[in-house]
Structure 1
């Protein structure tokens, strides 16, 4: 079987991680890397694949990738994905899929027209604690769900929001729910489904000079399937990430998964249930001055390979990616109401 050809758009921290995963997989071949930054392009030459300054140069080269990995700033995800789909390539889109539901719909339309898949990167679904929570929900171990509370308290300071970069821009970053916490919103959606009757408030405590959006908020809502929920978030935590947690209270039991990256089961009390021993979680992505969500990208790449080879299905499809964007969009609308 011939190797699946990949092109990586964007060679920052995440783009390099994608390139490493592709280059190290025997079923893959990295055929191009695209980044407008000259220093990034120099670094990308480490893989020996052709390097381009923009996607149009890549397209003009005649090189065709079976899969294009979109790892560019958030606000450009939908545009890059659409261009790749126009070239009849499958697409992997880093989170978030886009910054608006309308842009997600355009990507889905193009994917259907081209007959190509869109894979959304939601690697936290592969964490052992997340898979365990999903099994509890599928098997209805907790009974009727009464309440879900999610807390996301991270640090993002001037080590992260550097002058001249895209981070902190409303147009390209979108806000902390998109950039820092969309993985956790995705887990909540994956477990509980859609929400409505959304209310909340937000403010900017410590990033007035570095971002165009608020850094802290409280959101509360109802789940369409029943039960109430809330999300409390902030990137104003001093020094380092503090907590990412989810607590679920049901009629037959309650659980809490916490830790800095929502990867540690800290409470489990369920009727006639014995807590299994979970495999260890992978460490968070380490970017030097700050850390992000779980280092599970190899699972994402392998899912793409398996899906294209016909042995698996997409772990997070475009409709799910769009739904998370829509939920975050509605949360931001609630802040402005």
Structure 2
């Protein structure tokens, strides 16, 4: 929607409106000779649109608290409410975020809470779809932590509701902002690799009893969904984002160390073909002893080879391309720290930046519900082979 040319409503009906020719005789307005008054009013309207974007965070565990802290510090955002089903968190959150009200359910907030522009859904995976749809129907834009949903049909419901309500849905795919990932995307899009022959994605992390604690939603089919959804959906997203869709999938699954901890496998071997040509493999496991080993992506192509490595694909281990020199990349943010274990890159500030810029009409969404849906659909196709 464009900006209306003309004075904002707050300038209308206030006192007597002076004629433009009389105003221009004053010193200040003489300095604006040649300046379009319509342009001035457009600039005022643009400035009005840059009001702080108001966020409410639903689910204030590890990652939800990070969202809350980033929003609270963001110059273009305002944290207006926190929601969590554990009332014992209220006191600590009140000390950390003074003056921000706490609600024990999304329904309670929607009935009694302050107005907001954005609902951030950072609850257990199995609750994402229902809460995102509830927020959209209440007129809120929605930020959904990964995964968008645990079923393709639920993700489709989110997309349809967003279209019906005219609201944005932002997927949290923060690994795209890591300099090595963004660089790889650019190299592929520019055609520097030529035909891609082979892609190998390895995700080897540790998740043991320190993570799968008794009574937690982690490890359950209903709220966790599986290792590919909770631990490695970011890397499935990178695979899709850079190389496109996959087909001809085959898979084997094993449970080496988690039979007493989870309701699903801890490891898998997946092979596939790329729709654009070439083939690939995905090997993943959370049975690594004590700490994360790696998340790596190796590409063998017509004009060279590339390998991204590190614990969360945070560095370029190898780059040998025809007529190309690897540029110096910006440093990668450290991994998210969760006590005894680490997660993916701490790039959530870029997600908040993009949400604020998009809603303030200063930019465009860099992730959307359709991409989040596609990641869910790919994982669902892999898991259907169990």
Q: Say yes or no: TM over 0.5.
A: yes
Q: 2:323 aligns with which of 272, 275, 281?
A: 272
Could you list the structure 1 runs, at least 4 aligned residues long, displaced by more than 6 angstroms after superposition: none
* Corresponding residue of 1:182: 233
Aligned to 1:237: 288
1:248 to 289, 299, 322: 299
* Number of corresponding residues: 335
Match of 2:8 in 1: none
Please tell me whether the aligned partners of residues 335 and 346 of structure 2 are also in contact (alpha carbons under 8 angstroms). yes
CA distance in 1, matches of 2:127, 2:55: 19
Please give the residue correspondences for 1:1-337 in structure 2 after superposition, counting only pairs within 5 Å: 1-45=50-94, 46-47=96-97, 48-334=99-385, 336=386
Deviation at 1:40, TM superposition (A): 2.3
Larger Rg: 2
TM-score normalised per structure 2: 0.86
- Could you list the runs of 5+ residues in structure 2 that have no partner in the other structure? 1-49
Q: Deviations over 1:32-91 (max 9, x none)?
A: 100011222322212121100000110110522100000000000000101100110000
Q: Distance in 2 between matches of 1:120 and 1:208?
A: 31
| CA–CA separation in structure 1 for the residues paired with 2:279 and 2:108 | 50
Distance in 1 between residues matched to 2:294 and 2:193, nearest whole Å: 24
Contact 2:81–2:113 (CA<8 Å) still a contact in 1?
A: no
Unaligned residue ranges in structure 1 (runs of 5+): none
SS in 2 for 1:324: helix
**TM value normalised by structure 1:** 0.98
CA contact (8 A) 2:197 2:301 kept: yes
What is the distance in 1 between the residues matched to 2:55 and 2:62?
Answer: 17
**Distance in 1 of aligned mates of 2:163 and 2:71:** 25
Contact 2:51–2:360 (Cα < 8 Å) also in 1: no
d(CA) in 1 for partners of 2:232, 2:88: 29
How far did 1:3 drift? 1.3
Alignment root-mean-square deviation, CA: 0.8
**For residues 142 and 295 of structure 1, what CA distance do their matches in structure 2 show?**
29
Structure 1 residues 149-171: Cα deviation after superposition (integer angstroms, max 9, x where no partner): 00000000000000001000000
**SS of aligned partner of 2:384:** helix
Match of 2:38 in 1: none
- Structure 1 residue 203 displacement after superposition: 1.2
Deviations 1:112-135 (A, max 9, x none): 111000000000000000011001
Matched residues in 2 for 1:40 and 1:166: separation? Answer: 17
Aligned equivalents of 2:332, 2:91: Cα separation in 1: 33
1:34–1:41 contact (8 Å) kept in structure 2: no
